[in-house]
């Protein structure tokens, strides 16, 4: 059973605002979304920041990397100008800012743990602890629909998240589903498989669902494709085109 929303805004507000920014969350809300996926990476001083790329150059101008920059300095960087002049000085958010915004607006979170190389376990454990501490009430309430879902491509990050906060649900991100997917998912205590919609087949979807896992896809921007994979039993997907595929999409 998939207790979470079916349609999720990717990287904050998809392609309607700069990715992984509070402006993105605002765009999602403007389009009626109450579900978001975003990426969290640790700064040099070990603070979770909402950002996708380990290196500067695309969403943050200049040279350098997230893992070699302190959180306070990242938070002062411009993560909006690359997308449009009207988003100039949109900061790199702290993970806790995203949590605060999502709680205030009742937005469900799929937190993707996105460790820089070498920081897999540290990032997984940090994200899990902070999430657990901020969602203690929801976790005690016992309704899984209100729990944030942690996910990662990194087995080690998810294993560390499992050890730090076993009560938080975990989704295992797999670009291409390997033959031993179920053994890995079992080790991680994962509740769901998150996979690339381009690589999914009806047979794989049926196999994952028959094994009792949730099935989530990234990233679907074509409504016809969305309908197709939902017909295969996919429980939910994230989209960049929050203007084309709304929260009530079927």
CB-wise, 39 or 120, nearer to ligand G3P?
39
H/E element, 247 = none
112 in contact with Mg ion (CB under 5 A): yes
* Active-site annotation, residues: 10, 52
The site map against ligand G3P for 186-205 (x = CB under 6 A) is --------x-----------
**Is residue 235 a contact residue for ligand G3P (CB under 6 A)?**
no
Residue 146, judged by CB atoms within 10 A of its CB (0-12, 13-18, 19+), counts as middle
Size of the site for ligand G3P (CB under 6 A): 10
- Binding residue for ligand G3P, selected from 4, 14, 37, 125, defined by CB under 6 A: 37
| Angle, CA of 80, 240 and 59, to the nearest 5° | 25
Q: Are 40 and 95 in contact (CB under 8 A)?
A: yes
Q: Does 151 bind ligand G3P (CB under 6 A)?
A: yes
Give me the residue whose beta carbon is nearest to ligand G3P: 218
Please select the residue that binds Mg ion; options are 19, 39, 235, 240, rule is CB under 5 A.
Answer: 39
151 binds, options ligand G3P, Mg ion, none, Cβ within 5 to 8 A by partner type? ligand G3P
Q: Which of 111, 188, 182, 205 is nearest to 150 (CA)?
A: 111
* Cβ contact 157:121 at 8 Å: yes
Q: Is 240 in the site for ligand G3P (CB under 6 A)?
A: no
Q: What angle do CA 103, 108, 109 make, to 5 degrees?
A: 95
Closest of 15, 86, 32, 234 to residue 24, by C-alpha: 15
CB neighbour burial string for 95-114, b if at least 16 within 10 angstroms, e if fewer: bebbbebbeeeebbbbbbbb
Neighbours of 212 (CB within 10 A): 9
* Segment lying near Mg ion (by CB under 5 A), choices 23-31, 60-68, 108-116, 177-185: 108-116
Among the listed residues 95, 126, 218, 237, the single contact to ligand G3P using CB under 6 A: 218
Question: What residue 19 binds from Mg ion, ligand G3P, none (CB within 5 to 8 A, per partner kind)?
Answer: none
Shortest distance, position 178 Cβ to ligand G3P, whole Å: 17
106-145 positions binding ligand G3P, by CB under 6 A:
112
CA distance 153 to 226: 22
In the bound complex, what is the minimum distance in angstroms from residue 16's beta carbon to Mg ion?
A: 16
Residues in the site for ligand G3P, rule: CB under 6 A? 10, 37, 39, 52, 112, 151, 173, 194, 218, 238
Contact positions vs Mg ion (CB under 5 A): 39, 112
């Amino acid at each position: 059973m998939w207790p979470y929303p079916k349609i999720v805004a990717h990287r904050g507000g998809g392609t309607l605002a700069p990715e992984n920014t509070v402006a993105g969350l605002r765009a999602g809300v403007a389009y009626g979304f109450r579900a978001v996926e975003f990426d969290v990476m640790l700064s040099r001083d070990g603070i979770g920041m909402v950002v996708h790329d380990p290196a500067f150059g695309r969403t943050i101008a200049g040279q350098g990397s997230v893992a070699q920059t302190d959180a306070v300095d990242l938070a002062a960087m411009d993560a909006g100008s690359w997308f449009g002049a009207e988003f100039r000085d949109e900061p790199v958010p702290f993970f806790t800012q995203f949590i605060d915004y999502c709680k205030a607006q009742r937005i469900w979170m799929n937190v993707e743990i996105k460790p820089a190389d070498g920081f897999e376990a540290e990032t997984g454990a940090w994200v899990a602890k902070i999430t657990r501490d901020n969602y203690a009430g929801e976790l005690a309430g016992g309704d899984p629909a209100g729990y944030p879902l942690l996910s990662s491509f990194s087995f080690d990050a998810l294993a560390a998240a499992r050890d730090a906060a076993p009560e938080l649900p975990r989704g295992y991100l797999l670009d291409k589903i390997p033959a031993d997917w179920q053994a890995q998912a079992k080790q991680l205590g994962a509740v769901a498989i998150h996979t690339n919609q381009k690589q999914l087949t009806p047979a794989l979807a049926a196999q994952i669902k028959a094994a009792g896992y949730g099935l989530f896809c990234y990233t679907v921007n074509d409504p016809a494709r969305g309908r197709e994979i939902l017909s295969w039993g996919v429980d939910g997907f994230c989209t960049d085109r929050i203007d084309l595929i709304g929260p009530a999409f079927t």
